[in-house]
């Protein structure tokens, strides 16, 4: 029986080649789009789920107050707290601290490299997290201060095809390290990013440790013993820093599970409030939309051809075929179509996957050797065939033979029919996607056009490596004397990266609510305002060369002045009890974007060099020099004072542009899948309009004989479809507004959704639909009526 079903289904596909081609093409493109999204979703959902201890791994967070008096979380804590928890709480299996570093110079086999990402960790790191060793003993890693574990990629870079275990790597031309382990390269679906691991003891040897309980600067991870209640443990350790520091105005703590790190990384008032999970859900819905649009094409075209299949159904019923037999036949036809479309879709995915990987900045692959993949693929095809074929199967099998043979079977031109509902549904989805794409694009453009508060033209930043810090004054002097730069300054970090978070500052007339206000700290030695082009509102810039007392001077931004309630900020004294220093305000700068361009600008204090640290220098090139010449001459100066290291730099405008990478990818993906939705919808509309024109060929001939023009005929055939698109616009508008308004709530700095967006989306949908339908309408309108009336 099934063999006969398939044979009949195959013949049916061959009989209606054009409609079969449209059906298969639409389904294949829809399935390919859905598969690409599903591969991306699977990658997002699987982040860090490969760790053996995943159910017991947590990150330690701090919780304090921000400028609005709400709770604010921070993912870094003090360095002593991790070992303290391990030693004093029996619920803890292990803890590890993680501090990233990329400033070392690596030398091996007479080859040198810089900018390699690595981490300082406690020896327990590789017992807690599952990063498999290809070579070496996991239990012996990082127990020696001069041992190093490297990834396959780094081993290949340093030693080629030679065995890496036991080899020597020289770091910063100072210390020799022995390779004790080679790690399998990190999978793409992890939050960790390193090519080597160094012992925490080496960080101590360098003097980079900080045992102050009040200094939050380190990622700390906790592994609880099985069956320990995480919420109860969070409550138990909540006030650990308060107790150990002897202060009540410090951050509290909680632990956050590994399963939520990637998808639920946003917090609101100290509580989890979504994150990437919102994007994952949106694209999951988009995948369903695209597949559903493709299935609607199949339903519409199958039911549109009902008159041609009516006689076949009548004869089969007269010959004794039951309704269930006919339903089975039509479901098999849908299944065969879905199988062919599925094979083509897989080919499309395989061909487009490299480009898609580049678009989303990921490494996706089709797991052909995974049994569950093929099981899922079969389920996907069966689901698609049932979704696409069930309605046509029940519809066609319901025809009555008597009505068919008496030619009483005619399609009614009712105001509402299932086919019209499906077309409306199809274009509703497509218009929602168009609106979403426009909103994402406008939000991205809005943030990119935001006044940064500084000038990043001709501005580069150079991280302190090797002897740059020691020879900074000489480097600065040579650069300025050469005329290639107009100003130079050294700062805590790059200006686009923001600064450190602190609290506890005191100022005149403060209120008790100000005690835990989180302040962003930045630092400079001199000329930050001139170098970065920050607008000085009041007072002057810090300049340690001109004013020696500026070691303990500060600049405030506008938000800080507002928080502190200063009417005349210049000359005011602010105090930080942690360092027991009185800082004098010498100037006020306009707010500038230092973190996310979508967020409010926090209260910021720019410290003088008296009790600050510096990791970066900024150089403002002279516009009279070409960038190429300026960089070449700057490189020679750095080579003179830091000969062991290559000259590495970043353009500040490029660093700032990276802040928009995620939204740029979201915009491109939304645009791509909106295009697919429209294309598939139009493919179905094209087939449907072709069938309508074919079924009304005699009517068109008669109208032309009676004097109807080509324009009249085109208008007649197109108007019904355009009305359906108008209905789709009416339905899609409130749905799209609600969805995108909710998406925008994640951004403090956001656009308002204008009515113009819906006008553009609606106009675009109508124009595309009109072009699609008009092609068949005009073709029918200009046909010779004599040939039309001779049909049959």
Q: How far apart are alpha carbons 219 and 125 in whole angstroms?
A: 12
Asked if 554 contacts 599 with a C-beta cutoff of 8 angstroms, the reply is no
What is the enclosing helix (H) or strand (E) of 92? strand 92-101
pLDDT at site 516: 65
What torsion do the CA atoms of 139, 140, 146, 150 make, to the nearest 10 degrees? -60
- Classify residue 2 as exposed, middle or buried by CB count within 10 Å of its CB (0-12, 13-18, 19+): exposed
Tell me what the pLDDT averaged over the chain comes to.
Answer: 85
Nearest CA to 66 out of 501, 388, 666, 667 is that of: 501
Scan for tokens 């409306």, then name that residue.
Answer: 424
- Distance, CA of 87 to CA of 123 (rounded, Å): 15
- pLDDT computed for residue 393 by the predictor: 65
What's the rounded Cα separation, in Å, for the pair 328 and 394? 10
For residues 527 and 751, give the distance between their C-alpha atoms in angstroms, rounded to a whole number.
Answer: 35
Q: State the average pLDDT over residues 654-676.
A: 86
Nearest to 260 by CA among 271, 252, 248, 245: 271
* Residue 279 CB contacts under 8 Å (≥ 6 apart), including other chains: 666
Q: Is the dihedral of CA 688, 691, 695, 699 positive or negative?
A: positive
Question: Given this model, what pLDDT does residue 412 score?
Answer: 47
**Euclidean distance between CA atoms 367 and 353, whole angstroms:** 13
Element (H, E) at 538: strand 536-539
Cα separation, 19 vs 301, in Å, equals: 7
Instruction: Give me the mean pLDDT over the 494-520 stretch.
Output: 78
458 contact partners, CB below 8 Å, separation of at least 6: 620, 621, 622, 623, 627, 630
Is residue 14 scored above 70 in pLDDT? no
Q: What is the pLDDT of residues 125-137, one digit of tens each?
A: 999 999 999 999 8
CA distances to 113, 177, 196, 514, 652 from 116, in Å: 7, 15, 8, 41, 20
For the stretch 534-547, pLDDT in tens is 999 999 999 988 88
Q: What is the DSSP letter of 145?
A: T
Residue 255 has pLDDT above 90, yes or no: yes
Render pLDDT for 611-649 as a digit per residue (tens, 0 to 9). Answer: 788 999 999 999 999 999 999 999 999 999 999 888 999
Q: What is the pLDDT of residue 404?
A: 52
- Give the DSSP H or E segment for 120: strand 118-121
Would you call 407 exposed, middle or buried from its count of C-beta atoms within 10 A (0-12, 13-18, 19+)? exposed
State yes or no: pLDDT of 491 exceeds 80.
Answer: yes
Residue 307 has pLDDT above 60, yes or no: no
Q: What are phi and psi of 94, to 5 degrees?
A: -165, 160
Q: Which residue from 497, 552, 491 is spatially nearest to 527, judged by alpha carbons?
A: 491
- Whether pLDDT at 691 is above 70: no
Question: Stretch 379-403: mean pLDDT, rounded?
Answer: 70
| pLDDT of res. 48 | 93
Residues sharing a CB contact under 8 Å with residue 289, sequence separation 6 or more, in sequence order = 429, 432, 433, 677
Confidence (pLDDT) at 267? 80
Residues 95, 232 contacting (CB under 8 angstroms):
no
For the beta carbon of residue 464, count every other beta carbon within 10 angstroms: 17
pLDDT digits 0-9 by tens, 556-614: 999 999 988 899 999 999 987 666 788 999 999 999 998 888 888 889 999 999 878 89
- Per-residue pLDDT reduced to its tens digit, 393-413: 666 666 566 555 555 555 545
pLDDT of residue 303: 66
% helix / strand / coil in the chain, to the nearest 5? 50, 15, 30
Q: Decide if 556 contacts 605 (C-beta within 8 A).
A: yes
pLDDT in tens, 199-236: 999 999 998 888 988 888 899 999 999 999 999 999 99
Token reading at 235: 């409550």
β-pair partners for 120: 99, 198
Q: For residue 118, list its beta bridge partners.
A: 101, 196
Are 62 and 501 in contact by the 8 Å Cβ rule? The answer is no
State the pairing for strand pair 553-557/581-589: parallel
Around Cβ 55, how many Cβ atoms within 10 Å?
12
Tokens 């990276």, located at residue: 658
Here the tokens at position 505 are 């500052």
- Which residues are bridge partners to 240 per DSSP? none
- Closest CA relative to residue 338, chosen from 389, 393, 304: 389
The answer to whether 474 and 653 are in contact (CB under 8 A) is: no
Give the distance between the most distant pair of CA atoms in the chain: 106
- For residues 258 and 57, the answer to whether their CB atoms sit within 8 Å is yes
Pairing between β-strand 106-108 and β-strand 111-113 as defined by DSSP bridges = antiparallel
325: Cβ contacts below 8 Å, ≥ 6 apart: 316
Q: How many CB atoms lie within 10 A of CB 205?
A: 13
Alpha-carbon distance of 444 to 659, in angstroms, equals 10
The per-residue pLDDT for 587 is 95
User: Which tokens go with 69?
Assistant: 């008096």
Check residue 712 and give its pLDDT.
75
Total number of residues shown for the chain: 792
């Amino acid at each position: 029986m099934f063999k006969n079903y398939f044979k009949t289904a195959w013949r049916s596909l061959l009989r209606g080649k054009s409609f079969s081609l449209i059906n298969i093409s639409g389904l294949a493109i829809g399935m390919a789009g859905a598969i690409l999204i599903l591969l991306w979703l699977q990658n997002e959902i699987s982040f860090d789920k490969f760790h053996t201890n995943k159910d017991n791994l947590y990150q330690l967070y701090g919780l304090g107050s921000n400028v609005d008096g709400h709770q604010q979380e921070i993912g870094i804590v003090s360095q002593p707290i991790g070992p303290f928890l391990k030693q004093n709480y029996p619920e803890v299996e292990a803890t590890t601290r993680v501090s990233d570093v990329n400033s070392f110079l690596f030398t091996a086999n007479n080859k040198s490299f810089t900018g390699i990402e690595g981490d300082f960790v406690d020896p327990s790191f590789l017992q807690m997290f599952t990063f498999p060793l290809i070579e070496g003993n996991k239990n012996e890693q990082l127990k020696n201060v001069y041992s190093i574990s490297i990834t396959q990629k780094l081993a290949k870079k340093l030693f080629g095809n030679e065995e890496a275990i036991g080899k020597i790597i020289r770091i910063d031309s100072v210390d020799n390290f022995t390779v004790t382990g080679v790690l399998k390269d990190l999978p793409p679906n992890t939050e960790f990013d390193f090519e080597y691991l160094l012992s925490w003891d080496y960080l101590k040897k360098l003097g980079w440790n900080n045992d102050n309980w009040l200094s939050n600067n380190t990622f700390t991870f906790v592994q609880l013993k099985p069956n320990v209640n995480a919420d109860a443990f969070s409550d138990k350790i909540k006030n650990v820093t308060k107790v150990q520091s002897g202060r009540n105005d410090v951050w509290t703590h909680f632990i956050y599970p590994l399963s939520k790190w990637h998808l639920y990384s946003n917090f609101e008032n100290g509580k989890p409030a979504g994150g990437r999970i919102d994007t994952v859900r949106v694209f999951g819905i988009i995948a369903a939309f695209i597949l559903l649009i493709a299935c609607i094409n199949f339903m519409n075209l199958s039911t549109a051809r009902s008159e041609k299949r009516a006689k076949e159904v009548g004869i089969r019923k007269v010959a004794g075929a039951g309704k269930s037999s006919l339903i089975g036949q039509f479901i098999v036809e849908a299944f065969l179509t879905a199988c062919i479309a599925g094979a083509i879709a897989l080919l499309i995915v395989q061909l487009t996957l490299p480009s898609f990987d580049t678009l989303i900045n990921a490494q996706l692959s089709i797991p052909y050797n995974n049994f569950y993949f093929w099981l899922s693929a079969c389920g996907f095809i069966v689901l698609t065939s049932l979704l696409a074929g069930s309605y046509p199967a029940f519809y066609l099998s319901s025809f009555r033979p008597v009505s068919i043979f008496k030619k009483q079977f005619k399609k009614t031109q009712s105001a509402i029919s299932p086919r019209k509902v499906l077309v409306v549904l199809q274009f509703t989805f497509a218009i929602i996607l168009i609106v979403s794409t426009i909103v994402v694009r406008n939000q991205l453009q809005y943030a990119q056009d935001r006044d940064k508060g500084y000038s990043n033209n001709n501005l580069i930043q150079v991280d302190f490596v090797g002897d740059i810090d020691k020879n900074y004054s000489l480097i600065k002097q040579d650069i300025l004397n050469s005329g290639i730069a107009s100003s130079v300054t050294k700062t805590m970090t790059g200006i686009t990266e923001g600064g450190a978070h602190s609290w506890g500052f005191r100022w005149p007339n403060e209120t008790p609510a100000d005690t835990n206000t989180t302040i962003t700290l930045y630092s400079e030695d001199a000329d930050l305002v001139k170098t970065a082009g920050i607008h000085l509102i009041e007072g002057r810039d810090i300049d340690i060369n001109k004013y020696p007392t500026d070691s303990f001077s500060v600049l405030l931004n506008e938000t800080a002045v507002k928080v502190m309630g200063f009417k005349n900020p210049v000359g005011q004294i602010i105090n930080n009890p942690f360092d027991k220093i009185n800082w004098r305000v010498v100037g006020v700068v306009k707010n500038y974007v230092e973190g996310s361009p979508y967020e409010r600008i926090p209260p910021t204090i720019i410290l003088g060099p008296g009790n600050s640290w510096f990791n970066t220098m900024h150089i403002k090139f002279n516009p009279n020099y070409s960038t190429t010449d300026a960089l070449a001459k700057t490189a020679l100066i750095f080579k003179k004072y830091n000969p062991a290291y290559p000259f590495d730099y970043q353009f500040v405008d490029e660093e700032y542009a990276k802040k928009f990478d995620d939204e740029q990818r979201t915009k491109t993906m939304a645009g791509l899948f909106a295009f697919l939705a429209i294309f598939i919808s139009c493919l179905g509309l094209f087939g449907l309009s072709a069938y309508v024109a074919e079924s009304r060929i005699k009517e068109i001939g008669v109208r032309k004989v009676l004097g109807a023009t080509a324009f009249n005929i085109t208008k007649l055939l197109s108007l019904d479809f355009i009305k359906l698109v108008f209905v789709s616009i009416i339905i899609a508008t409130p749905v799209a507004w609600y969805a995108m308004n909710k998406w925008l709530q994640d951004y403090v700095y956001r656009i308002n959704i204008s009515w113009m967006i819906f006008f553009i989306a609606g106009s675009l949908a109508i124009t595309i639909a009109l072009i699609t339908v008009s092609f068949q309408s005009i073709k029918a309108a200009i046909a010779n009526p004599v040939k039309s009336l001779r049909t049959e």
